[in-house]
Structures are given as C-alpha cells and as structure tokens.
Structure 1
C-alpha cells in the first residue's frame, strides 16, 4: 500500500478524496467508487501501487493515437479498478469490481522495472490504459517521471474524470492522452456510464489548456448515442472548443458485458458520423474497429494527399517527410518524434 495523494481529512475519521471528479467522501474502513482507495483510520491509501494486472507492448495506434509518434510501440500497463461503471466495458474483468471489496489482483512491478521493460522492448512511450489511469495515479506518476528521464513519452488512455489539481500535477510528464467522449447527453452518461457529461467536457478543455496532445474517441452504440443530434453535438464541441485539428475516432461497438441487447454498429453509421465530423469543420475523423473499411487513413488537410495508409493498428505506408506533407509541405498536427 501507499498513502494516496489528493485527499483531506474532514473529521469523524472520514476523508475526502480529490483525485477524480466524484470527490468521494470515504468513511473509515471503506473505499471510494474506484474500489482501490481505502480509508484506514483517517489515512487514505492506494491499494494498487506496484500491482500491474496487465502489461503489453502495443502499437501506439491501438490506444488509439494516430497523430502521436505514428508507427511506434508503446508499453501498456494497468492495475485493477475504475471509477466508471460502463455497461459496455470491454475490460470489465479487471476494471469492474464485484461489490465494494474488490480483490486487489496483480503482479508486483516496480516503476523502475516497468521503465526498464519498456526500454528493452524498443518502446518510445508508456501508456497507462486498459482500466483508468486516474485511479492508479501515484503508480503512474512515479513511472512517468522515470520514463521521461529514460527518454520515453507518457500517455493516458482515460475517461476524462481526473480533477484539475491532479492533472496539473502530472501534466509536466504527460505528453498525450486519448480521452473517451462517450456520448453527448446527460442521460447517456447517467444511465450507461454512471458519471456526468459536463465534468468530462471540462476535463477535456483542461487537458487542452495544459498543452497535452489529445485525441478523442466515441464508441458509437446503436439507439444510445448514434443520433445525428448527439454526433453533431460532439463534433461541434471538438471543432469549436477543443480545435479542428483534434483527431476524433468514431469506433464500432459490439455487444459485451451488460449491454448485449444492442447490435454491432453498422459501418454506415460510422460513415455518417465521420461525415458529420468533417462537415462540422474537423480535419481528422477516423473510423475505428473496422480494419480495411477505408476510414483509418490520414489525408493532408491542405492538398488531400494520402499521408498515412493504415490497416487496423498497422501502418502500411507513411509518406510524411519530417512530419510534413511531401506534396505541399503542410505540417501534420501532432507529435512526430
């Protein structure tokens, strides 16, 4: 265990956690919503520090990040637990606890060893992913500092519910994030995610303000968040508030976990979403989870030249010249090195 960051004692043995936007009030002997931060006699502890439940070497495109060190490898790491309760979670076996007393599974892995493994695997970054990096903040923070010293970049794959104070603390070491913007209605967030949309929107803008490269992902679920109104709302928010150069990934849903009553997202819906994004002024909209369907490629926003051709998470052709279009010289937004 490790004493948690971002909490305050509020009397009667209770503590107020300030790590994520739920700001849980936790009584002695209890845990927060994430189920991995526990109050023991007025001291809040992280129960997952150094407990890696998953580690893999992935293409950075899998995060998905298409404009951040394209074609590179990233060392992905996670602990158990999450502060969301998404009905369609793909990684529910490690993210969603069975009741409050989540069993803290995982293998011992020090921050030093995690960085060593990333370097040995030829990775250029470390991704804190699979569950929710916010809930294992202390572990991610210590790894991120060592990773930066070793010449590696750091990536969050996140639901966007971190508090401004916690994000500001890790921002000097955080280079990129893919943030899920799961829908665009409070009803969707309340009933499917069990969180609040406005808090996610505020968080996205905070990432942007701090200069962290961000890409956004929306998993499109039939009959839940696939209306023209919802998709146009997301696209306008990104184009007008975050910036038209922000990549938006619209991904195919498939039935899983507690949301098995909806069909797989039709490719036509992804095409419609992509067109809505482009019509709203976004320059880079990608279709996800449908390899070979044609919506994965990157085109020059100035001259329409094909710059990066992809199949799934694999880059088949990269024509960028020092990050620029070889035809017109336009610099592709993102992080090349």
Structure 2
C-alpha cells in the first residue's frame, strides 16, 4: 500500500453466527450477513477466520485541529479547538455525501496516518484542544477504536465528540454514547421516502438515537440537517421536523440547517440558496425552537446565539469567529439571568477562530 500502513485486524464487537453459516453484524440496522472474507456495506467491518474484525483500528485519513463550531457544536465550549479525525467507509449510502472521498473510500491507502488512543490523547493536549472529535466519516462504524480513544482521552481530561448519522442498534448505542461528551447527529431529512431513496437507510432508527441521547445519557446533543433543493427543503417537511424536535427533545436542543453543494452522485442539484436556510430557520423558530442556526453560508444572525428567555444576543459569530461573548460565569444571560442550555467555560478567553491546522501523528 502506498501509505505504508498495514490494514489492522482488531476484534469487532456486536455480531453473532447464523444457522446458515454466515455471521451477522449487529452494530447497525443494516444487519450485514457475511461469508468468510466478505465486508459489510461500511467496508471496514469484515469476516476473517470466522470472526468479525475492524480493519481500521488505529488508522486515520488525517488529523486536524478545528474550531468546535465547525462540527457544528455551538453550545459545547464555544471558541475552543477540537482535534478532528476520521477513518474510511460509512454505513449509509448518501447520494449527496459531502465527504465522499473519505466516507465512500474503498481504498485502505486513503488512511495515511495512524495513532494509538494514548497518542491521540497526548496530541490533543499538545495542540491545546479541549476535545477530540470522531468525524469526516461516521464513527459508528469504527466504534471500537472511537471508544478506546474516548477512554484514553477521558483519562487525560480531554472530552470527546461524535459527529454521526446516528444509525446504530440499541445495545452498541448504549455503550457508544456512554463514552461521548457531545454529539452532533445528522438528521438527513424527515421522511422515510427521503431516507430510503437518498441514503439507503431508514428514518426511525435515527429518531430513536436522538431520543436516547437526549433523555438517557449525559451526552450533549445538537442536530444538523443539510437542506437539498427540491428534496427535503419544503415548508411542510421543515415544520414537521421542527415540531418533532420540540415535542420529543424540547425547545432548547440546537438545530442547524446547512447548505448543500453539488457533489458525489448528486451534481444535478443546485447549491442551497441562503434564503432557503433563512426560511427554514424562521419556520423552526416559529414552531417554538429556541436555538436554530444556519451553516455553510455567511449569516451573522443565523450563526449567533440568543437568550431563550429575552432574546438578548449572547454569543456573536462571524463564520467560526466569536465576537461579542456575553455569558455570565454561570453560563447565564446578563440581561435576564436565564441559563443557556449547553456546556460553557466559567471564563471565556480568545476563541480559536476560523483556523484549520493539519496535524501528523504517525
């Protein structure tokens, strides 16, 4: 391989043998059933020597220091930096994937770097990062590696973030999110038809994950929906999604609407107009949600955070750059005293800003 990094064979969890001789992966609702040598749809989980193995443990498509707002997380230590990395593969088949060169990769030499969990935690500290994010492709498919990294990070006082589509079965979901401090779940759309036709997956398991994270864990939750012109951006669908979030998760779970750009197998659609994001944000606010954001466009109002009580500006953002920051040491509004939902440092120092710093760990 051109990378010089050998494919790993780390024991995989969550599988069982079938009567017909195959083994079934029980990690996600795909329930891939494998003969010897076969890989699941995610590509990185494989049957070898009658066992399930994870072929990307300890390996990465690259490490980078990002602003936490880029995940996007606007209520989880704003202004802090996060060590971001992914591996390869994905358990969804989104035609519009914005990271398709990584998530759809079938070439293990995409994985140009490697790190043990302990080395990753050390590198995060050396880089001044408050947290580590499992991102770029879905950490669900490399759950064993992500959880080992989470344990190493927590031992060094570093927090962990999952950027995920939330397509996972109940038992691995319980273990996985018990090790995450924050998650941004990509809610692709809000109809079963969209999920099945555009991602090859189903909506219900994702909604179950959202409810589980918010109600059953201490993991901070934010949600992102990429709006694709003509596919999932209608008023009715945005209203339905917003109502569901309000009724099942509450008014203060942050919801991000982000702009699509033509990519992968969906180059026939135009980019999302900024006006679409503004409209979606207004619909969600009118439904009763308190923290609704726009992303992938320049929108000062749509990127900033306001008090859920008196609507005072609390955190001003220009892209990922934080300007005015008006939270009290207790994380409250200086005007009305209402506490802002989320996790905030007692004292805000100069934010990390818009920088993106590649890091090599191998």
Gaps of 5+ in 1: none
Aligned to 1:222: 229
Say whether the 8 Å CA contact 2:300–2:317 is kept in structure 1: no
Structure 1 residue aligned with 2:240: 233
Residue 353 of structure 2 corresponds to none
Offset at 1:12?
Answer: 4.4
The DSSP-based 3-state class of the residue aligned with 2:237 is: helix
More displaced stretch, 219-228 vs 262-271: 262-271
**Equivalent in the alignment of 1:162:** 168
Given that 1:181 and 1:200 are in contact with CA atoms closer than 8 Å, whether structure 2 keeps it comes out as yes
Alpha-carbon deviation of 1:153? 1.0
Measured after TM superposition, the shift of residue 224 of structure 1 is 0.3
RMSD across aligned positions (CA): 1.3
Question: Paired residue for 1:290, among 297, 314, 323?
Answer: 297
Q: Give unmatched runs, 5+ long, in structure 2.
A: 1-8, 346-362
Taking the aligned partners of 2:247 and 2:74, their CA distance within structure 1 comes to 21
TM-score (norm 1): 0.96
TM-score (normalised: structure 2): 0.90
Does the residue aligned with 1:157 lie in a helix, a strand or coil?
strand
1:148 and 2:154 equivalent?
yes
Structure 1 ranges of 4+ moved more than 4 A: none
CA distance in 2 between partners of 1:52 and 1:42 (Å):
26
Residues paired across the two proteins, number: 334
Indicate the residue corresponding to 1:88 in structure 2: 96
Match of 1:105 among 107, 110, 131: 110
Greater mean deviation of Cα atoms: 86-95 or 287-296: 287-296
Measured against aligned partners, the alpha-carbon deviations of 1:129-178 in whole angstroms (never above 9, x if no partner) come to 00000011111010000111111111100001022211211333211100
Equivalent residue for 1:264?
A: 271
* Distance apart, 1:292 and its partner CA: 3.7
Deviation at residue 95 of structure 1 after TM alignment: 0.7
Relative to structure 1, the CA distance from residue 105 to residue 254 in structure 2 (aligned partners, 3 Å threshold; closer, same or farther) is closer
Separation in structure 1 between the aligned mates of residue 285 and residue 299 of structure 2, nearest angstrom: 20
Secondary structure of 1:182's aligned partner: coil
Alignment of 1:298-313 (within 5 A): 298-313=305-320
Alignment partner of 1:195 out of 198, 201, 213: 201
Secondary structure of 2:121 counterpart: helix
Deviations 1:19-71 (A, max 9, x none): 11212111211011101011113200000000111211111000000001111
> For residues 169 and 104 of structure 1, do their structure 2 counterparts lie closer, same or farther at Cα, with a shift above 3 Å needed?
farther
Tell whether the 8 Å contact from 1:32 to 1:38 is kept in structure 2 after alignment: yes
Determine if contact 1:51/1:105 at 8 Å carries over to the other structure: no
Query: How does 1:1-337 map onto structure 2 within 5 Å?
Result: 1-98=9-106, 102-103=107-108, 105-106=110-111, 107-211=113-217, 212-322=219-329, 323-337=331-345
Residues 225-270 of structure 1 show CA distances to partners (whole Å, capped at 9, x for unaligned) of 0111110111011010011100000111111111111111111111
Alpha-carbon separation, structure 1, partners of 2:205 and 2:35: 24
Which structure's relative contact order is higher, taking Cα pairs within 8 Å and 6+ residues apart?
Answer: 2
1:62-119 Cα deviation digits (max 9, x unpaired): 0000001111111111101101111111111111135xxx435322211111111001
Partners of 1:111 and 1:29 in 2: how far apart? 27
Q: What's the secondary structure of 1:168's corresponding residue?
A: helix
SS of alignment partner, residue 37 of structure 2: coil
Deviation at 1:336, TM superposition (A): 1.2
